[in-house]
Amino acid sequence: MGWRGFNCSIPHKVAVIPLLDGLGESASIMGAVNCAVNRHGKFIGENTDGKGFLKSLTEVIDPKGKAVVMFGAGGAARAIGVELALAGAKAVTVVNRSASRAEPLVKLLNEKTKTKATLSGWSSTYAIPPGADIVVNATSIGLGDGNQPLDIDVKSLNPNMVVCDVIVDPPNTHFLRDAKSQGCTVIDGLGMLVNQGVIGVKYWTGVDVEPASMRKKLEEIFGV
């Protein structure tokens, strides 16, 4: 059919893998594909979710050598955790309600990357360790409800931290508003969304598209 590639989403990110001819590095590690690219007649699976997040993050801070606290252990957390590890993050603390769901991600990071990953329970209000450089909400908390808070000790956030949220709708989540109130630098989910699109188009066409115009349109859509 002459396809240059395609995107796929839940529930196909894992099921598509046996149908592809190969995987990129991060997609191979995380075991999930959201973007297939036709390279010399072979379809190679990539994952642009984590790459999109990393691009928006590195515009603010280089994760190399940094300590990360990440809430969640689902698909977004898996993609982000792997890309942070490949970018040289020193440590990733995975904070999750269910230890059994988080353990595979912690094991994957420890076994397949050089980053030290640890699991932290989340049975009560969580206090961010003072040594954290980057804090990421990779859960669905706040999706569709910008007033839903993350169960954290807001006072444990400090101005030295870069705080990120993957939620797109709405972009200005309760979590990010809390972070702003403590003087943190914040990154909303629109950056991840825009950049994964930019990366996908580059994979398929070789063309660098303009992220600013894409973000502007999304801001109009979400009333930012």
Q: Collapsing DSSP states into helix, strand and coil, what is residue 195?
A: helix
Q: What is the pLDDT of residues 129-152, one digit of tens each?
A: 999 999 999 999 999 888 999 999
Spot the catalytic one: 13, 51, 55, 66: 13
Domain shared by 165 and 86, yes or no? yes
Q: Please report whether residue 71 resides in a domain.
A: yes
Domain shared by 97 and 154, yes or no? yes
Whether 13 is catalytic: yes
Judging by DSSP bridges, how do beta strands 134-137 and 5-7 pair with one another?
unpaired
Q: How many domains does the chain have?
A: 2
Judging by DSSP bridges, how do beta strands 5-7 and 35-39 pair with one another?
antiparallel
Q: Which pLDDT value is given to residue 10?
A: 77
* CB of 110 closer than 8 Å to CB of 136: no
Domain shared by 159 and 172, yes or no? yes
Domain shared by 157 and 102, yes or no? yes
Q: Which pLDDT value is given to residue 212?
A: 93
Domain shared by 34 and 60, yes or no? no
Q: Which domain holds residue 32?
A: 5-48+193-212
In angstroms, the CA 129 to CA 138 distance is 18
Q: Which pLDDT value is given to residue 58?
A: 96
Instruction: Dump strand ranges (E) for the chain.
Output: 5-7, 22-23, 35-39, 42-46, 67-71, 91-96, 116-121, 134-137, 162-165, 185-187
In angstroms, the CA 178 to CA 161 distance is 12
Q: Which pLDDT value is given to residue 51?
A: 93
Q: Which pLDDT value is given to residue 2?
A: 87
Q: Which pLDDT value is given to residue 63?
A: 98
Omega cis (within 30) before 11: yes
Q: Which pLDDT value is given to residue 224?
A: 82
Domain shared by 172 and 66, yes or no? yes
CATH code (residue 41): 3.40.50.10860
Domain shared by 23 and 97, yes or no? no
Q: Which pLDDT value is given to residue 11?
A: 82
Q: Which pLDDT value is given to residue 37?
A: 97
**Which parts of the chain register pLDDT below 50?**
none
Of residues 49, 9, 45, the one with CA closest to residue 28 = 45
**Phi-psi map region of 69: left, alpha, beta (phi>0 left; psi -120 to 50 alpha):** beta
CA dihedral 178, 174, 97, 164 (to 10 degrees): -70
Position of tokens 């797109």?
168
Q: Which pLDDT value is given to residue 210?
A: 93
Q: Please report whether residue 79 resides in a domain.
A: yes
